[in-house]
Structure 1
Amino acid sequence: MSHSFLPVLIAALLAGTATAASHDAAYQAYQKGDYARALPAYRAAAQKGKPLAQYNYAMMLWRGEGTPVQRDEAVIWLRKAAEGHLAQAQYALGLLYENGERLPRSQVDATHWFLLAAQQGHTDAQTSVATQYFLGRGAPKDMVQAARWYLKAAEGGDVGAQYIVATMYEKGEGQPHDLAEAWRWYEAAALQGDPAAAIRARDLGQRLRQAGAASRP
Structure 2
Amino acid sequence: MAARFSRGGSRGAGRAQMIVLGMLLAVAASARSEPPQVQAPSPIDGRASLTASLAASSDQRAASDSPGPASAVEAASSASAPNPGSKAGPANGAAAANRAITLETALAAYEQRRWRQAERQFGELAARGEALGDYNLAMMHLRREAARPDLALAQQLLKRASERGLVRAELSLGQFYEEGVLGRRDLVQAHAWYLKAAEHGSVDAQVAVGTAFYLGRGAPLDMAQAARWYREAANGGDEGAQYLIASMYETGLGVDRDLRLASYWYAAAASNGDLAAKAKVKALAEALSAEAAAI
What interval of TM-score do these two structures reach, taking the shorter chain for normalisation?
A: 0.7 to 0.9
Contact 1:108 1:138 (8 Å CA) reproduced: yes
In structure 2, relative to structure 1, the CA distance for the partners of 1:150 and 1:139 (3 Å cut) is: same
Distance 2:249 2:209 in 1: 19
Q: Does residue 69 of structure 2 align to residue 19 of structure 1?
A: yes
**TM-score if structure 1 supplies the norm length?**
0.86
Larger radius of gyration: 2
- The question of whether the paired residues in 1 share the 8 Å contact of 2:151 and 2:181 is answered with no
When structure 1 is superposed on structure 2, of 78-87 and 103-112 the one drifting more is: 78-87
Q: 1:147: Cα distance to partner?
A: 0.9
State the one-letter code of the partner of 2:165. H
Q: Separation in 2 of the partners of 1:20 and 1:39? A: 20
- Is this contact kept in 1: 2:107–2:118, CA < 8 A? yes
| Aligned pairs for 1:149-160 within 5 A | 149-160=229-240
1:176 to partner: Cα distance: 1.8
Structure 1 segments unaligned to the other structure (5+ residues):
none
TM-score normalised over the length of structure 2: 0.65
> Relative to 1, partners in 2 of residues 1:116 and 1:103: Cα closer, same or farther, differing over 3 Å?
farther
Residue type of the alignment partner of 2:265: W
Aligned to 1:110: 190
2:119 to 39, 43, 47: 39
Alignment partners' CA distance in 2, 1:203 and 1:125: 31
Is the CA contact (8 Å cut-off) linking 1:15 and 1:52 kept in structure 2? no
More deviation, 96-105/60-69: 60-69
Bigger relative contact order, structure 1 or 2 (CA pairs below 8 A, ≥6 apart): 2
1:78 alignment partner in structure 2: 158
- Aligned equivalent of 2:54: 8
Name the counterpart of 1:201. 281
Deviation at 1:141, TM superposition (A): 1.5
Cα deviation, residue 118, structure 1: 0.3
Greater displacement, 104-113 / 67-76: 67-76
Q: Please tell me the root mean square deviation across aligned C-alpha atoms, in Å.
A: 2.4
Tell me the matched-pair count: 213
Cα distance in 1, alignment partners of residues 214 and 130 from structure 2: 35
Is the Cα contact below 8 Å between 1:117 and 1:125 reproduced in 2? yes
The alpha carbon displacement at 1:2 in A equals 4.5
Moved more, 47-56 or 66-75: 66-75
Match of 2:172 in 1: 92
Unpaired runs of 5+ in structure 2? 1-39, 43-49, 62-67, 74-101
Q: CA deviation at 1:88?
A: 0.9
Give the helix-richer structure, 1 or 2: 1
* Alpha-carbon shift at residue 63 of structure 1 (Å): 1.4
Q: Percent identity?
A: 39
The one-letter amino acid of 1:178's match is D
Match of 2:202 among 92, 117, 122: 122
2:6 aligns with none
What is the one-letter code of the residue matched to 1:44? E
Distance across 1 between alignment mates of 2:241 and 2:144? 33
Q: Which moved more, 1:103-112 or 1:78-87?
A: 78-87
Counterpart of 1:50 (choices 107, 127, 130) is 130
Report the equivalent of 1:132: 212
Deviation at 1:110, TM superposition (A): 0.8
C-alpha deviation, 1:6, in angstroms:
4.1
What is the alpha-carbon distance in structure 2 between the residues aligned to residue 194 and residue 69 of structure 1?
A: 41
The code of the aligned residue for 2:51 comes to F
Q: Distance in 2 between matches of 1:118 and 1:103?
A: 25
